[in-house]
Amino acid sequence: MAIAVIAFFTFSCKNEDLTSRNEIIAKDVLGTIDAIATVKAMVEDPETWDETEIAACKYEKDGFKLKLPKTVSEEYLFEIDTDEEFEEWVTVSDPKAKLAPVWLFGYNEKGKEIGDFYHMGYNTRYYASAVYLYSDRKFTVKGKYEEDDEDEYSEVVDCKFNKGWNVLYIVEQEYPPYQFSITTQKPSEVKMEWIFEKYYHYEHASIRFVKEVYSEDCMSMGVYQNDGWGGASWVFGEEPGNSGYYDWILPGNYYVWHNDSEWNTHVDIQNYNFEDEISYTVVCTEKNDELYVYVKEDGKGDVKKSLQFRDIINKLKLSIQNEKSKQAKQ
């Protein structure tokens, strides 16, 4: 049952201070903070998951003061979509309401994304986390679910969203009576703190995989380093496809390979140098009626996914149409 709640509210949140000032204020941030120079707030496109910056500020004196815009564009608002089981015990006052979560990231002096910020608190009994969001209107979400068993488990949703910026708190009570709560009321049981989680490898190349043809000779693709470690891969089967999001790999030299239908590995390129801050696509296609694998540079940084997806989808549609035409002629 909790999964249904989380799936809905992963895109949600509210804080009394935010409503009037449109600000997020963080003090005494914990974590590896020495390299942070700038804090940026991002929203996501619900269709492509592309991130767009809506606010930024300097990181100084172990904290930041981030001024958010008064509104968020319609294209970044998520519709409230709940499953039937969730709807049985939760009431949404206005089902047409839309929300936009904001995610906070830290950048170094070079403008490199090096980690993200969390607002959370915990003790021996409770765990709480906060998510910041924009609401396009005033509405409420309320409900309670109780399991009839000896574990005394319940879930409570008690949210009152204002138009504008809000904060939502997810609170878990980890001892009987167990309770999972989603609320816009700041929890009094725990002290909320700001934590910065630095990426383990923030120097990286971005890589994805695209298969443009029907072929049993290229069932999967990947890259690995000279010592056999690291890298990334994707399994396609015989049909065309794409890996979707970029994966991160450490900069350096890699073997580029593909597997045939018997899962034998064929090395297509040796010691290809994937550079830091560059996005790449590894493509499997046909050239002169033979399987051909190559690497294409997409650009510096994590380039926009929406344009890439559009190109991939168009190519795949064309490939599928051609295959259907061949089958129809046979």
Domains and CATH numbers, the chain: 2-198 (no CATH), 205-329 (2.60.40)
Q: Which residues of the chain have pLDDT under 70?
A: 1-21, 81-87, 149-151, 200-202, 227-230, 301-330
Burial class (CB in 10 A: 0-12, 13-18, 19+), 292: middle
Element (H, E) at 224: strand 220-225
Residues in the chain, total: 330
pLDDT value for 80: 76
pLDDT value for 27: 93
- Cβ atoms of 311 and 242 within 8 Å: the answer is no
DSSP 3-state of 10: coil
Q: What pTM was estimated for this model as a whole?
A: 0.62
pLDDT value for 202: 64
pLDDT value for 112: 85
How does DSSP assign 125-174, residue by residue? SEEEEEEEEEESS-EEEEEEEE--STT--EEEEEEEEPSEEEEEEEEEE-
Give the dihedral sign, CA 70/75/78/84: positive
pLDDT value for 326: 57
